[in-house]
């Protein structure tokens, strides 16, 4: 079978779906790998590196699409490329079915199999394919680095003959994969770390990393069966707001990671809370692309709101594209390996397999 990937729009996406290392693994499984000219050049992966592994290099993306059976991407390709797809081709990536519902329905009508990997079930067997976890882990780390770089004080406590510099106080809003990595990174750099989450199961994880878990009094556990956060009640939101409002007065840096799959990000840090924060404080909002967790977040801008810097980027992983590509490409390889019928060497869409059934957009 012929497996391929086309170039992403480098203005928005620098990650790639097939690295030279992973190309070799596909070929060892019996696949023929097709890539366009200079596919990974922006990451230092030149044509020779791919060709030396046995990859077929085509002149352009169009020829790659026409000749392939499985297409691996980061994001849904442009309309021009989608129009080239034909019956029985398989498109695999982060297809964002909530935003691209109509486009994906039209592809399904053409008997194109669309697999969106952000829909993977949270089961043990799917962990090696979990693109949300692998990418969020890096995002949580990088958010801490970016916010610390914009904070104009030292992070760890420093005792000198001239006096003591106190450790920075960091609050992590949302203790999922990104939040837990943010806690670990901030602690390693010497900060005092607090965290809050609507899922009570997060308390033990936060504390195991050395963070202090902030609990809303009388809170319920707001976690879905799939392990994601669900929307809080109005009463919970009010209690959480009161707790955060008091906590933020003494916090130097906030990392926001709270997301609800398929919905606009909840606005957790309101205008009045930011007004109470110390001047010079920094907020990094990882939820910026989905509307943001603060009242003032703007994508790809640093907003200075009365001395508080609020940051948020369209794609923070564009600042770690080599590491992010390595993990993403391996996630995709594991997913494709699960799709492959080892006896026939063909794709087997077995809907009794929960991984396949949940990710296939019908």
Topology of domain 136-318 in CATH is Rossmann fold (3.40.50)
Q: In what order do the strands lie in the sheet with 192-196?
A: 212-213, 192-196, 169-173, 253-256, 282-285, 308-312, 301-305
Q: Tokens in use for 92?
A: 């695999």
CATH architecture for the domain at 2-119+321-361: 3-Layer(aba) Sandwich (3.40)
Residues with catalytic function? 122, 127, 130, 133, 228
The tokens for 126 are 């799917």
Radius of gyration of the chain (CA): 22
Q: Give the separation between CA 295 and CA 279, rounded to whole angstroms.
A: 17
Which residues fall within 8 angstroms of residue 205, CB to CB, at 6 or more apart? 175, 180
CB half-sphere exposure, 169, CA atoms < 13 A: 12
Sign of the alpha-carbon torsion through 348, 332, 263, 251: positive
The Cα–Cα gap between 43 and 326 comes to 11
pTM reported for the whole predicted model? 0.90
The distance in angstroms from the start CA to the end CA of the chain is: 23
Q: Tens digit of pLDDT per residue, the chain (362 long)?
A: 999 999 999 999 999 999 999 999 999 999 999 999 999 999 999 999 999 999 999 999 999 999 999 999 999 999 999 999 999 999 999 998 888 999 999 999 999 999 999 999 989 999 999 999 999 999 999 999 999 999 999 999 999 999 999 999 999 999 999 999 999 999 999 999 999 988 888 999 999 999 999 987 655 555 555 555 556 677 777 888 889 999 999 999 999 998 876 678 889 999 999 999 999 999 999 999 889 999 999 999 999 999 999 999 999 999 999 999 999 999 999 999 999 988 888 889 999 999 999 999 98
Kindly report the backbone phi and psi dihedral angles of residue 195, in degrees, each rounded to the nearest multiple of 5, phi listed first.
-150, 155
**Residue ranges matching CATH 3.40.50.720 in the chain:** 2-119+321-361, 136-318
């Amino acid at each position: 079978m012929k497996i391929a990937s086309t170039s992403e729009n480098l203005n928005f996406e620098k990650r790639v779906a097939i690295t030279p290392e992973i190309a070799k693994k596909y070929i060892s499984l019996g696949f023929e790998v097709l890539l366009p000219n200079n596919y990974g050049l922006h990451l230092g992966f030149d044509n020779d590196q791919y060709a030396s592994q046995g990859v077929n290099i085509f002149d352009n993306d169009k020829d790659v699409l026409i000749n392939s059976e499985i297409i691996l991407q980061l994001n849904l390709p442009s309309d021009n490329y989608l129009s080239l797809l034909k019956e029985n081709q398989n498109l695999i990536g982060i297809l964002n079915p909530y935003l691209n519902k109509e486009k994906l329905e039209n592809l399904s009508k053409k008997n194109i199999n669309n697999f969106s990997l952000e829909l993977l079930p949270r089961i043990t067997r799917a962990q090696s394919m979990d693109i949300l976890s692998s990418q969020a882990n890096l995002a949580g780390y990088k958010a801490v680095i970016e916010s610390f770089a914009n904070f104009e004080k030292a992070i760890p406590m420093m005792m000198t003959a001239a006096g003591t510099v106190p450790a920075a106080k960091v609050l992590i809003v949302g203790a999922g994969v990104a939040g837990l990595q943010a806690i670990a990174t901030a602690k390693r750099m010497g900060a005092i770390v607090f965290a809050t989450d609507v899922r009570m199961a997060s308390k033990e994880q936060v504390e195991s990393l050395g963070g202090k878990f902030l609990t809303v009094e009388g809170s319920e556990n707001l976690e879905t069966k799939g392990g994601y956060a669900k929307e809080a009640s109005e009463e919970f939101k009010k209690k959480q707001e009161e707790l955060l409002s008091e906590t933020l007065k003494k916090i130097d840096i906030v990392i926001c990671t709270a997301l609800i799959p398929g919905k606009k990000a909840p606005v957790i840090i309101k205008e009045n809370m930011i007004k109470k924060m110390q001047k010079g404080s920094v907020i990094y909002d990882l939820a910026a692309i989905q509307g943001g967790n603060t009242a003032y977040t703007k994508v790809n801008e640093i907003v200075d709101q009365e001395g508080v810097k609020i940051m948020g980027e369209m794609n923070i992983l564009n600042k770690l594209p080599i590491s992010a590509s390595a993990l993403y490409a391996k996630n995709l390889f594991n997913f494709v390996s699960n799709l492959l019928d080892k006896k026939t060497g063909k794709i087997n869409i077995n809907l009794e397999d929960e991984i396949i059934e949940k990710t296939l957009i019908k």
